[in-house]
């Protein structure tokens, strides 16, 4: 549950440096201009929304995993099938939650 927001922050950080490498290293643009424009376009609210969405999705994944794990039957085979079942259960929920969170958080 804690790792998904942390992965979100790491992904934003890697995206920043990936864009920097492409723009400065390949295209030959100024690194100063890239940094200024990036921070001009990036609002603190956007980072907050990304971390909140990561937290909500982490909670959903954890709850579905716990629910499937507690309801496991059939010994070792059931324990082996529980993670697959939890991924299959949470996968269709993800697009609906993304749409709902986009509507709620971007108001």
pLDDT tens per residue across span 37-54: 888 888 888 888 888 888
User: What is the extent of the structural domain holding 40?
Assistant: 3-105
Positive or negative: CA dihedral 38, 42, 44, 50: negative
CA-nearest of 8, 7, 10, 35 to 21 is 35
| Number of domains the chain is built from | 1
pLDDT tens per residue across span 1-37: 678 888 989 999 999 999 999 999 898 888 888 888 8
């Amino acid at each position: 549950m804690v790792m998904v927001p942390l992965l979100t922050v790491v992904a934003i950080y890697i995206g920043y440096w990936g864009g920097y490498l492409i723009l400065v290293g390949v295209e030959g643009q100024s690194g100063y201009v890239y940094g200024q424009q990036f921070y001009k376009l990036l609002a603190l609210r956007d980072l907050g929304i990304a971390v909140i969405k990561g937290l909500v999705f982490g909670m959903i994944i954890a709850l579905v995993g716990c629910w499937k794990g507690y309801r496991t039957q059939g010994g070792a085979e059931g324990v082996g099938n529980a993670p697959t079942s939890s991924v299959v259960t949470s996968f269709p929920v993800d697009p609906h939650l993304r749409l709902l969170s986009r509507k709620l958080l971007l108001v």
